[in-house]
Amino acid sequence: MSVDEIAILGVGMHPWGKWGRSFVEYGVKAARDAMTDADVAWDDIQFVSGANTVRNGYPGWVSGSTFANALGFQGCQLSSSYAACASGATALSIARAQILAGVCDVALVVGADTTPKGFFAPVAGDRPDDPDWLRFRLVGMTNPAYFGLFARRRMAMYGDTQEDFARVKVKNSRHGVHNPNARYPKEFNLADVENSPVVSDPLRLLEICATSDGGAALVVSSMEYAKAHGHADPVRVSGISTVGPTFPNAIIDMPYLASDSWAAAGDEEHTFKDQIAQRAYDEAGVGPDDLDLAEVYDLSSAYELDWYEHIGLCEPGDAAQLLRSGDTAVGGRIPVNTSGGLGAFGEAIPAQAIAQVCELTWQLRGQAGGRQVEQAAVGLSINYGMFGHGSSVIVKA
């Protein structure tokens, strides 16, 4: 299927960190920067698509309204959406649909979060019919415990080593030092990683994504609007995937205590994460070989290797070799997580998928400074939201 493109007119971010202020402040800063970058006035925005945060009370559940109110209500249409870590891509997909349907010409997409210290915990209250409550209560399965399961499985199936995982962190930290929005703009070496404490065996503290505050925003429009407003050759959104899994999802995933059963149908290798990018590739009319860079959801160091395989950069089992070859570092054949990734940022849930698109846009415009990928023309982002929300965006220069 081919889907018409929309233009990215402007991008903006509030630096990631543990600032301890309201998420609204981060979102507003990112939105203002995106509108300045786009040279589009707030009064001209026709639609605000907010990506929600569920940890900041009611204002977080109606983020479109919250951000519009903070910027000053000017009467435009609003939407607020939540899809866990995929919320930002969902918010972008809604803006695209509005634009392509002719309901609006230019939209602001914004997500921001303020996070508590430590592990993400389920929503309060006794809820034994909620898988997210059960996994904490009965087993003590934190998010990093799932990352640990996947990492150990790679070691058993493919012969990956803990040093391979540490090398992902080292690589991404070398990218992150060049990113003014990164929370940890610091270069780490193998010894730093190996000397950090185990959180979920075989993964160490420096290999597991922290929880962060941050905000990110995009101004997107129809191609006609872009041309009429001085953007002759904007970066374009060429594909968006928001697919869910197909049954049976044989690889266990957050927040469930069990996989689907593949006794009656399917096979033991089938995982949702192999399906997510395909929809975006199909819409954009490209494949893995066409990519110049990718932003992938490195919730852990080992997880980045899983994504190489899920998005088709290499065959299952070959990701560690791809990493060791240097191909996925800036300067290599297909740089991955040029922003520094979650390893350099930590995770600000509703902002993260939007931040991935910000990075791709800066790269395709040639504005990425010390982490610039030469002549980048096609980029892909991928992440997924717990419970089954896929998210992938392909942008073209």
- Minimal distance, residue 139 CB to another protein, in Å: 6
- Minimal distance, residue 122 CB to another protein, in Å: 7
Q: Under the criterion CB under 8 A, does residue 198 sit at the interface with another protein?
A: yes
Residue closer to another protein (CB basis): 128 or 331 = 128
Which residue, 29, 36, 44, is CA-closest to 9? 36
Q: Under the criterion CB under 8 A, does residue 200 sit at the interface with another protein?
A: yes
Please check whether residue 284 is in contact with residue 328, taking contact to mean a CB–CB distance below 8 angstroms: no
Q: Which of 201, 224, 233, 374 binds another protein (CB under 8 A)?
A: 201
Radius of gyration of the chain (CA): 20
Characterize the bridge pairing of strands 378-385 and 389-396.
antiparallel
CA distance 329 to 324: 10
CA distance 206 to 330: 21
Characterize the bridge pairing of strands 213-221 and 106-113.
antiparallel
- Minimal distance, residue 118 CB to another protein, in Å: 7
What per-residue string of b and e applies to 215-254 under the rule 16 or more CB within 10 Å gives b? bbbbbbbbeebbeebebeebbbbbbbbbbbbeebbbbebb
Residue closer to another protein (CB basis): 127 or 186 = 127
Does an H or E element contain 85, and which? none
Residue closer to another protein (CB basis): 19 or 120 = 120
Considering only residues 116 to 145 of the shown chain, the ones binding another protein according to CB under 8 A are: 118-122, 124, 126, 128-129, 131, 133-142, 144-145
Burial (CB count within 10 angstroms: exposed 0-12, middle 13-18, buried 19+), residue 288: middle
- Minimal distance, residue 25 CB to another protein, in Å: 26
Residue closer to another protein (CB basis): 242 or 361 = 242
- Minimal distance, residue 132 CB to another protein, in Å: 10
Considering only residues 145 to 184 of the shown chain, the ones binding another protein according to CB under 8 A are: 145, 148-153, 156-157
Considering only residues 233 to 262 of the shown chain, the ones binding another protein according to CB under 8 A are: 246-248, 250, 252, 256-262
Extended strands (E) in 52-197:
77-81, 106-113
Residue closer to another protein (CB basis): 203 or 351 = 203
- Minimal distance, residue 269 CB to another protein, in Å: 12
Q: Under the criterion CB under 8 A, does residue 268 sit at the interface with another protein?
A: yes
Please check whether residue 380 is in contact with residue 268, taking contact to mean a CB–CB distance below 8 angstroms: no
Residues that bind another protein (CB under 8 A): 118-122, 124, 126, 128-129, 131, 133-142, 144-145, 148-153, 156-157, 197-203, 246-248, 250, 252, 256-265, 268
